Structure 1
Amino acid sequence: MSSNTGEVHKLSSSTSAQSCRQFSIAEINSATNDFDDDLIIGDGGFGKVYKGSICINGTSQAVAIKRLDSMSNQGAPEFRTEIEMLSKLRHCNLVSLIGFCDDNMEMILVYEFMPRGTLYAHLHKSTTPLSWVQRLKIAIGAGRGLDYLHTGFGTQHGVIHRDVKSSNILLNENWAAMISDFGLSKIGPIDQTLYNISVSVKGTFGYLDPEYFYTSKLTRKTDVYAFGVVLFELLSGMRAVDERLEEEQGSLARWAQKCVKERKFDQMVDSNIVGTISPKCLRGFAEIADRCLIRVVEKRPTMTQVVAKLHNLLELQEKCDNSVDSSGTTGFTWKIHKYLAYASKRISGIDKLFISVGHISLPKSAENKITQCSSSTNRGGGDGGKMGRTTVTNCAKNNMNQCSSSANRDGSYYGKMGRTSLQKNAKNNMTQCLSSTNRDSSKLGRTSLPKSIKNPI
């Protein structure tokens, strides 16, 4: 490490004004209880990350301490790059580097501690899922951080991160997103394309831009591609690469692009947030993510454009959500948009029923009690029914105890359930709505919105 130590010291002295401190190995050992395994909070390509407590300006501060693994593929160049980058960069959506240690052949980085951990952990390991609005705000925060890198940080140079992924997006106590891990980053003029042909391609499979992979040409749009994968990860809750799934779904980018092309937006939604996304917001989010993955690099949006679009989508979603709390005597004030695509369920231990549920809209002023909405069909192997839209108009007082579709027991075909509309100011007590259909080939027809109803979303 001796050959590199001088370079690190040069970096530290040149960036001392930025409060990047050099720690001794004794301080690091004290902060981590001699690298106690019980304090490990992460393990990546660089090495292990420990939670520690270190004294800074007389105050004990929680920190994340990243220690280079001697067997790691990363080394002194990445170590120096991380120090150089984070000593110069200051943004509310970038993790802050507090200091480093290079004593005794060690390469250690000390960051501010992010109590909420990584975005990856919340999407794929947490038992408490993120809400849709939380995901939108996280996407905007991470996007802002990347936009700051790309457009310059007080100079004529910008930074290409080169390893954007959900595990490199950290969350603070307020759920604000922080871009981290700058070991692979490259600096280049903001008005030029940065080429790095002589260096091997680096990054993470699943997030790696195919054009960068095949041509070795590194540009800011390389980060845009990876960010598009993160957006689809936020929407679907799926991993960027999942070897447990079939080949088509094993690659999130390829599967998501196919869904957008076929306009199957509903099939892309994480089951944890089904029913919480405005249809327009869903479509807009999927489309901007898809644009990030366009094969032709020049046609991909900039991060500035992506962030602006995400802001608009957040405003649209919040406007929709705020209608839940509004009151009035006319119009709809509450909307649940459900996308349950091909959800399967055993009925009486026999065959599966596949139901695609459309819109269910209920006004806030209506007193509704929905105790059961079920659909039972072919017990001998019938195909999937589709339930369309059911609307309860304003001021209706309804007690919907049961809305079911039962199949004909003698095997004959009874046809399709047509349209059911509850008119304004009607007082209804719907105790049973039965559509009898053939157990061998049942079909549930449409329940439609009256044309006079104006959907606020």
Structure 2
Amino acid sequence: MAFLSHNNTNNFFIAILIFCIFRSCLSSNIKDTITSSTSIKNHETITSNNTDFKLGFITTSINSTNLYLAIWYINETNTIWIANRDQPLKDSSYGFVTIHKDGNLVIMNKQKGISVILWSTNISFSNSINSTAQLDDSGNLILRDINSGSKIWDSFSHPADAAVPMMRIASNKVTGKKIAYVSRKSASDPSSGHFTASLERLNAPEVFIWYDNSPYWRTGPWNGRVFLGSPRMLTEYLFGWRLDHDDDGTEYITYNFASKTAFGILTLTPHGTLKLVEFVNKKEILSLEVDQNECDFYGKCGPFGNCDNSTIPICSCFDGFEPKNLEEWNLRNWTNGCVRKGELKCEMLKNGSSTEFKQDGFLVYHNMKVPDFSVSNNAKVPDFSQRSDGDQDKCGSDCLTNCSCLAYAYDPYIGCMYWSRELIDLQKFPYGGVDLFIRVPSEFVVAKKEKKHKSVLIVAIAGVIGACILVICAYLLWRKCTVRHTGSQPRNLIMREQKQMKLDELPLYDFEKLETATNNFHFGTMLGKGGFGPVYKGIMEDGQEIAVKRLSKTSGQGLEEFMNEVVVISKLQHRNLVRLLGCCVERGEQMLIYEFMPNKSLDAFLFDPLQKKILDWKKRLTIIEGIARGILYLHRDSRLRIIHRDLKASNILLDGEMIPKISDFGLARIVKGGEDDEANTKRVVGTYGYMPPEYAMEGLFSEKSDVYSFGVLLLEIVSGRRNSSFYHSEDSLSLVGFAWKLWLEENIISLIDPEVWDPCYESSMLRCIHIGLLCVQELPRERPSISTVVLMLISEITHLPPPGKVAFVQKQNSRSAESSQKSQSNSNNNVTLSEVHGR
């Protein structure tokens, strides 16, 4: 220094000072660790190594000076944890967070010159310990022993009101210790509110939301895939959830996303609902909340009361039960619920009654939320044998032999579930849930069966009486005039074919009976003809109406598609999928027998100038939602993960109530892996106009292929126009291109079918078009998953992102149009069977 001039000396010290200030500022924002020699004050933060998370002091209201130590994702709006939610820092001038001399992480506040601990991790150490607190890349604040490196405490195990991927909601069977979440009092007040979410009933785990100490809402048991009592908590919420346990007896549920670029914040809101905000590449793409209706509130209809939100009033008693207090019940005070009209016979026998013994039975109720397993005062004590292994028949027989058993249910992933106390918190769903079997005296079972049989008989007589004469006459004429060219194959040959084709579990129909039912496959009974072959209507001897799909020997499809449809659809059951009743493989024939759909297919209504008037907007919206739920079942909720590959209006059948049912699974593929997995094929099959570009051109298909087809179908339903009606258009290649053109011109309203346009429903129609355009975007990764589509349709996702460029928007020249038409004409079902080589 002696060699430096006075000015140089000053400049040197200034440079050192600037460097130290810069380093101090830099370290206060980039470092991820708090030590005993460092502290954080107001406006200072630490940042995780990946820069996604920060920890620092925040305020939650512009009208409040209270400060809270919090962790947030990207910005303070996305707060995931608050330390001192019930002990706010009042004066920002004297508050700081540091490592205390006892090793705990603490928030200190100076009062009259004395430092006071406002909040602490509050861990008791046998010896003094040297520790640090680090904010890791998952958003977890971890307190560690420097010497051993072991974790002492972490914020994930002491949550506030929000969970992020891999955080636990947990409960220990031995100690009773829980990791629970407590709501805020309000959006601006982060202090502990009235609602708590915890994991209960560990034999069949479910999440409860409590209002103070009373049960408020519950998810129903987790079966490894879904919560049985929460069908509206669709797969978008549940995909990536996992139930697991530790060796110490702790059961816990976590959630995660398949994509590394995705992140979510699941919050228990101040009014007791669950809200999920999802991000991809740090941009918010989804915000949805599990809405609640009156039936969702715990025990709304009291013991043995059934709640159905679609009926008025919403509460009713099951067969064999009556209101406990009729006067209160009529005033819609359902708290006391229902009681039995008569004693169970098993109880009579147990009590030594001399009454003649008749075995009890069960009445089954479909799509039910299973009752709570306990109705004790604290509602947390498990009922008697909650669950056991076995099939549904064993469940019933085991329950019947135990006089304490009042009801049972069966889920293939859980097994048998039993209830021995008052059945509480029951709800009837429009879809989802399980079959609930309630024990009643045998006379109630007999009475209900007789009532059902009378109803079926009346309908059958009314529908069959006219057709019987025609069938009998046709049958006698056929017997007289027809010479049998081939005899019936021996039964052992049929059984050998059945075994060879792996049809053991599928009912086998006799060829002769199908001939009789279809009037010898008369042209007058033909319902239609597709790429597989003709479909006939048949009436069986018992009056049952069926649809017989007969493989044509000139069909472009063959045994592969036949077997594929058998294997796929025989394992599926959903109200929006057509039901396969059986098959026939006699005399060299391959036939599939389905339930009969009286309203045929969607295209018969949608594109007919007269019939389309029947489809008002409410019916069209119901059809759209039903198709989406059917696809959701195929992609996520069925035992198999299935890509249909040929979704179109002619493959959507309508039952007597216009409920849509997806049909024709001859081209479907069973696939494995995650949602974004792609498969390829050298044989591209499907229908022009419904195939996405990556499939039509490269043979690549995934779940997003069905999403594209659904988008085209959605646009057809809203517009009432076929996609193929634009082949000779001067403006667009297809309906998709036409819709995109109108969207860019901000004239999308003109796409709506004039037959259904109504100013009252205009916003719903425009929303469906918007969703349709999102589904037909050119790049598969930009299309939403079908679970997201369902949430969009039922308006749980309120904000829709703008659609990107859609596929096939360029103008088609006359030669390509002509070529396309020629390719389509090879099949009556507009199915192409072309060979391309995938990557």
- Which of 509, 530, 538 is residue 52 of structure 1 equivalent to? 538
> Cα offset for 1:262?
2.2
- After superposition, the Cα gap between the structure-2 partners of 1:63 and 1:247, relative to the gap in structure 1 and judged at 3 Å, is farther
- After superposition, the Cα gap between the structure-2 partners of 1:3 and 1:172, relative to the gap in structure 1 and judged at 3 Å, is closer
- Which of 129, 132, 138 is residue 617 of structure 2 equivalent to? 132
- After superposition, the Cα gap between the structure-2 partners of 1:248 and 1:60, relative to the gap in structure 1 and judged at 3 Å, is same
Q: Which residue of 1 aligns with 2:778?
A: 295
Is residue 2:689 matched to residue 1:225? no
> Cα offset for 1:171?
0.6
Q: Which residue of 2 aligns with 1:182?
A: 665
Is residue 2:480 matched to residue 1:32? no
- Partner SS, residue 202 of structure 1: strand
Gaps of 5+ in 2: 1-492, 799-839
| C-alpha distance in 1 between matches for 2:563 and 2:684 | 19
Contact 1:93/1:178 (CA < 8 Å) preserved in 2? yes
> Cα offset for 1:203?
0.6
Q: Which residue of 2 aligns with 1:273?
A: 756
| C-alpha distance in 2 between matches for 1:8 and 1:248 | 55
| C-alpha distance in 2 between matches for 1:8 and 1:53 | 28
| C-alpha distance in 1 between matches for 2:677 and 2:788 | 20
- After superposition, the Cα gap between the structure-2 partners of 1:198 and 1:224, relative to the gap in structure 1 and judged at 3 Å, is closer
> Cα offset for 1:115?
0.8
* 1:38-437 equivalent positions in 2, closer than 5 A: 38-55=524-541, 59-125=542-608, 127-128=610-611, 129=613, 130-154=615-639, 157-191=640-674, 193=676, 195-242=678-725, 245-249=728-732, 251-275=734-758, 278-312=761-795
Is residue 2:512 matched to residue 1:21? no
Deviations along 1:307-349, one digit per CA (max 9) or x if unpaired, are 121122999xxxxxxxxxxxxxxxxxxxxxxxxxxxxxxxxxx
AA partner of residue 540 (structure 2): I
| C-alpha distance in 2 between matches for 1:131 and 1:239 | 17
- Which of 502, 505, 510 is residue 11 of structure 1 equivalent to? 502
User: Could you state the TM-score of these two structures normalised by the residue count of structure 2?
Assistant: 0.35
AA partner of residue 521 (structure 2): F
> Cα offset for 1:261?
2.6
AA partner of residue 111 (structure 1): Y
- After superposition, the Cα gap between the structure-2 partners of 1:198 and 1:166, relative to the gap in structure 1 and judged at 3 Å, is closer
- Partner SS, residue 682 of structure 2: coil
Deviations along 1:65-86, one digit per CA (max 9) or x if unpaired, are 1111111110001000111111
Contact 1:136/1:314 (CA < 8 Å) preserved in 2? no
> Cα offset for 1:4?
13
Contact 1:184/1:202 (CA < 8 Å) preserved in 2? yes
| C-alpha distance in 2 between matches for 1:276 and 1:134 | 16
AA partner of residue 44 (structure 1): G
Contact 2:494/2:586 (CA < 8 Å) preserved in 1? no
Deviations along 1:202-248, one digit per CA (max 9) or x if unpaired, are 11001111111122111000000000000000011110112574143
- After superposition, the Cα gap between the structure-2 partners of 1:142 and 1:244, relative to the gap in structure 1 and judged at 3 Å, is same
Larger radius of gyration: 2
Deviations along 1:30-61, one digit per CA (max 9) or x if unpaired, are 11111100001111111111110124xxx321
Contact 1:137/1:314 (CA < 8 Å) preserved in 2? no
Q: Which residue of 2 aligns with 1:383?
A: none
Gaps of 5+ in 1: 316-457
AA partner of residue 11 (structure 1): K
- After superposition, the Cα gap between the structure-2 partners of 1:193 and 1:274, relative to the gap in structure 1 and judged at 3 Å, is closer
- After superposition, the Cα gap between the structure-2 partners of 1:282 and 1:34, relative to the gap in structure 1 and judged at 3 Å, is same
Q: Which has the higher contact order (CA 8 A, sep 6+)?
A: 1
> Cα offset for 1:152?
3.8
* 1:434-445 equivalent positions in 2, closer than 5 A: none
| C-alpha distance in 1 between matches for 2:680 and 2:797 | 39
| C-alpha distance in 2 between matches for 1:26 and 1:216 | 42
Q: Following TM superposition, where does structure 1 have runs of at least 4 consecutive aligned residues deviating by more than 6 angstroms?
A: 2-5
| C-alpha distance in 2 between matches for 1:292 and 1:192 | 15
AA partner of residue 718 (structure 2): L
| C-alpha distance in 2 between matches for 1:206 and 1:4 | 42
Select the structure that is richer in helix.
Answer: 1
Question: Please, what is the CA RMSD of the aligned residues?
Answer: 2.4
- After superposition, the Cα gap between the structure-2 partners of 1:164 and 1:198, relative to the gap in structure 1 and judged at 3 Å, is closer
| C-alpha distance in 2 between matches for 1:220 and 1:144 | 14
Deviations along 1:97-156, one digit per CA (max 9) or x if unpaired, are 0011111111111000011111111111261321011100000001100000001413xx
AA partner of residue 701 (structure 2): L
| C-alpha distance in 2 between matches for 1:4 and 1:284 | 53
- After superposition, the Cα gap between the structure-2 partners of 1:194 and 1:184, relative to the gap in structure 1 and judged at 3 Å, is farther
- After superposition, the Cα gap between the structure-2 partners of 1:126 and 1:85, relative to the gap in structure 1 and judged at 3 Å, is farther
| C-alpha distance in 2 between matches for 1:230 and 1:314 | 21
- Report how many residues are paired: 304
| C-alpha distance in 1 between matches for 2:783 and 2:726 | 28
> Cα offset for 1:194?
5.1
| C-alpha distance in 1 between matches for 2:498 and 2:586 | 14
Q: Which residue of 2 aligns with 1:386?
A: none
> Cα offset for 1:254?
1.3
Q: Which residue of 1 aligns with 2:8?
A: none
| C-alpha distance in 2 between matches for 1:89 and 1:235 | 29
- Partner SS, residue 111 of structure 1: strand
Q: Which residue of 2 aligns with 1:378?
A: none
AA partner of residue 197 (structure 1): N
